[in-house]
Structure 1
Amino acid sequence: MTLAPILILLLGIAIGIPVAFAIGMAALSFFLFSGAMPPEIFVQRIVAVTHSFPLLAVPLFVMTGVVMNYAGITSRMMAFAEAMTGHWKGGLAQVNVLLSTLLGGVSGSANADAAMQSKILVPEMTRRDYDPAFSTAVTASSSIISVIIPPGIGLILFGFMGDVSIGQLFLAGIVPGVAICIAMMLAVAVQSRKLGLKPAFDAPLSWADRGRAFSGAFLALLVPVGIVLGIRLGYFTPTEAGAMAVLFAAIVGLIYGELKLAHLQPILEQTMQATAVILLVICTASAFGFYMTWEMIPATLAKAMLALTENPYLLLLLINLLLILAGMFIEGSAALILLTPILVPVITKVGIDPVHFGIVMVFNLTVAGVTPPLGTLMFTTCSITGVPIARFIRAAVPFYVVLFGMLLVLTFVPQLSLWLPNLTFN
């Protein structure tokens, strides 16, 4: 009976029930049939988690990304990215990677970034004779950078579920995010030469043209800098930073003259839709987490994993394998919410820094989003661009190599993540 809710959860996911409902059904079965406590506690656990102040950062940063799109800031950032890299072979593919890095500081969501670029950039790449499968693979793979560059929503969820400083996680994501961007751009350069892709521009733009493109994107580029500095200097918390980002994006949109009163309704609708999906998973996972804590499942798993090895590097390798398998079948945010309370106590017992582990875990579960059989980023991009999954997988193989290689680097070189937070907070 102890493991029955877990079996119900796995069965629900296997037969295609939405993850939030599968988690909720599994948790409810424990409260209904265990006899350990009244079923009303199930509702209480679902409602109680919504009272969290740090969790308010999620809808605020989601809203920031939506406002940026309507404010015309996204198009200006794309123009800046193209001005810097458009003269390279495969220039639009390089724009794709660089834009994901820039947008990571404003949207914080890999799915949002992948969907946006699939609609805007991939059709333009197709018009310029890029293979749609290659374009789709670049879009899905590069969107992973969005969750590492602050303010990634995955970092907020990990900090909330694992009781880890969100401010330190934001700082920890900057250097790895830039490193992943560089690695992806190198991979795109190699593939572009193999495929004989042409640059977007015949010659580099003048520095005057690049300066104009930079000035158009300048205010948007200040958003992630302002968020990190504001948190570090104590002007606002990560949650309040979300509110400031929304306000700043709205002001910039008004300055540009592209944000209209008529945009208010679609902005609120899109924000609520995206937020509802995330928070429903969090609420049901809270009830499921109560069941796991009551049955002492995290403690049991921790003992089992520590019995295998207490070597931190071997343990990280085992956990990475577990996360890759979990991420292949469960949406990244849901897996993060479910597994963070289980794994954080394990890694802290062997001396692994939870901030470093947060970067590794968030990146790992997002990488799984571009892998078969159920990668959400893979399905999101392919459904928009119309590329068959088999063609996507073949085109994505070089990027799989890069992403899993960077996962190993982030795992076994902790200073890549910890250098900036240690320098700043110490």
Structure 2
Amino acid sequence: MDISAVGLGAIVLLTFLFLQVPVFASLLAGSVVYFALTPSIPTQIIAQRVIAGIESIPLLAVPFFICAGVFMNYSGVTKRVMDFCEVVTGRMTGGLAQVNVLLSTLMGGLSGSNLADAAMQAKMLVPEMERKGFSKEFSSVVTASSAMITPLIPPGIAMIIYGSIANVSIGRLFIAGIGPGVLLCVSMMILVSVISKKRGYKPARQTSVKPKEFILALRNAVLPLLLPVIIIGGIRLGIFTPTEAGSVAIIYSLILGVAYREMKFSHVITGLKETITSTASIMLIVGAASAFAWILTRERIPQQVTELIVNMISNKYVFLMAVNVFLLVVGMFIEGNAAMIVLVPLLAPVATAYGINEIQFAMIFIFNMAVGCLTPPMGTLMFVTCGITKCKIKNFIKEAVPFYILLFVCLMLLTFVPAFSVGIVNLLY
């Protein structure tokens, strides 16, 4: 065992991350340092581990669902779902802010990408919110915060990656994500209502929704909204695997594009290009992180960490609180997918040793990583949203304080009330 080589590799990795070197390059640099200091291991293994990391059947679902989400945006689905959300929430205090939250929740089942969701709504809804009297800061925070729901609602990309690493059923993770996603949606809508009422933000409409109007909006949106039902139902009934569900989602999105007569052949080409670039960026991180994770496994770091933590902490809830604090700090500095690939092999066995349900722990882990996308200094959702809306980062952070508190409360509920994450899974399975 060469702890010094592992330690120096970890130092190089963290240093590069703080210098804002791309995540995949930072991970590869840490791995190269280890191999350079361990001459007994052939250097070609690093290339083999990178390739082996992405040669995973479950990971095939990643490009499939990314492609389906991109095609959905070109098929006219977003406008129809947004109109439905406006009908449902129009009379609520906060109006368009409520539309923002509900749209993120529903689109999470279609796009699977929180950054794409945040960018889309920052362009579509924030200018309209500002025209309706909402402040730029509040509009930006609601957009970025609600985009956090996307990785929790099936089919989130984070669930696919976690399931492939920890050997946990991706189908069950999809179902488990419904509970945390709905919890965050409802609690965020309540918070938006309280803030809007305090500031005098008016509802989007003053008149009540007529049954005919509601039925029309629902009819226009029902086909896109059926996609998560088709995916989860198909997986649960054994019609197709989670990986095959991604290809089903692509076909379904193309059918909607033809049915709505909004998708052109040029959109298909553009969508495929976007899918390739998005998938490549994720797979570069997955491959590089897999090489570093192999190093940790070879040096028996997960086993040592498990023994150390179990000897130090006797209570599983104390362990979960410690993990929450640790992951929240990690999420502030390291990209979620990279952190997942490196840390899941370390922490999942410890959680198992404490008797913690693997699905519950997965939801806690994914939720923590989602929070990291919203917190400084490396919050990608914060930077993407502010980059589009031109909101100052310091104003964004100040406005986001109530939302940070809300996220902490939701995290505690997931930690101490397993029913939020495993209740629906137990019901269906």
Q: State whether TM-score is above 0.5.
A: yes
- Does residue 1:74 correspond to 2:78, yes or no? yes
Question: Does the CA-based 8 Å contact 2:293-2:341 persist in structure 1?
Answer: no
- Residues 349-407 of structure 1: CA deviation (Å, up to 9, x unaligned): 11001111111110111012111121111111111111001110111111111111001
- Residues 298-343 of structure 1: CA deviation (Å, up to 9, x unaligned): 1122222212213111110000000000000112222122211111
Structure 1 residue identity aligned to 2:405? V
Equivalent residue, structure 1, for 2:93: 89
Residue 142 of structure 1: CA displacement? 0.8
Equivalent residue, structure 1, for 2:419: 415
Equivalent residue, structure 2, for 1:167: 171
Equivalent residue, structure 2, for 1:310: 314
Which secondary structure state, in structure 2, belongs to the residue aligned with residue 204 of structure 1? coil
- Does residue 1:273 correspond to 2:239, yes or no? no
* Cα distance in 2, alignment partners of residues 89 and 418 from structure 1: 32
Match of 1:129 among 126, 133, 152: 133
- Does residue 1:396 correspond to 2:400, yes or no? yes
Question: Does the CA-based 8 Å contact 2:320-2:415 persist in structure 1?
Answer: yes
Residue 36 of structure 1: CA displacement? 2.7
Equivalent residue, structure 1, for 2:368: 364
Equivalent residue, structure 2, for 1:113: 117
Equivalent residue, structure 1, for 2:65: 61
- Does residue 1:239 correspond to 2:237, yes or no? no
Match of 1:337 among 338, 341, 348: 341
- Does residue 1:221 correspond to 2:228, yes or no? no
Cα 1:204/1:338, change in 2 over 3 Å: farther
Question: Does the CA-based 8 Å contact 2:65-2:112 persist in structure 1?
Answer: yes
Equivalent residue, structure 2, for 1:148: 152
TM-score of the two chains, using structure 2 as the length reference: 0.97
Structure 2 residue identity aligned to 1:10? L
Residue 269 of structure 1: CA displacement? 1.2
* Cα distance in 1, alignment partners of residues 211 and 257 from structure 2: 26
Question: Does the CA-based 8 Å contact 2:149-2:184 persist in structure 1?
Answer: yes
Structure 2 residue identity aligned to 1:313? Y
Match of 1:264 among 257, 263, 268: 268
Q: What is the alpha-carbon root mean square deviation over aligned residues?
A: 1.0
TM-score of the two chains, using structure 1 as the length reference: 0.98
Which secondary structure state, in structure 1, belongs to the residue aligned with residue 91 of structure 2? coil
Tell me the number of residue pairs that the alignment of Structure 1 and Structure 2 aligns. 425
Which secondary structure state, in structure 1, belongs to the residue aligned with residue 250 of structure 2? helix
Equivalent residue, structure 2, for 1:210: 214
Match of 1:32 among 33, 36, 49: 36
- Does residue 1:352 correspond to 2:353, yes or no? no
Q: Gapped runs of 5+ residues in structure 1? A: none
- Residues 123-149 of structure 1: CA deviation (Å, up to 9, x unaligned): 111121210100000011111111111
More moved, 24-33 vs 56-65:
24-33
Residue 33 of structure 1: CA displacement? 2.3
* Cα distance in 2, alignment partners of residues 289 and 7 from structure 1: 15
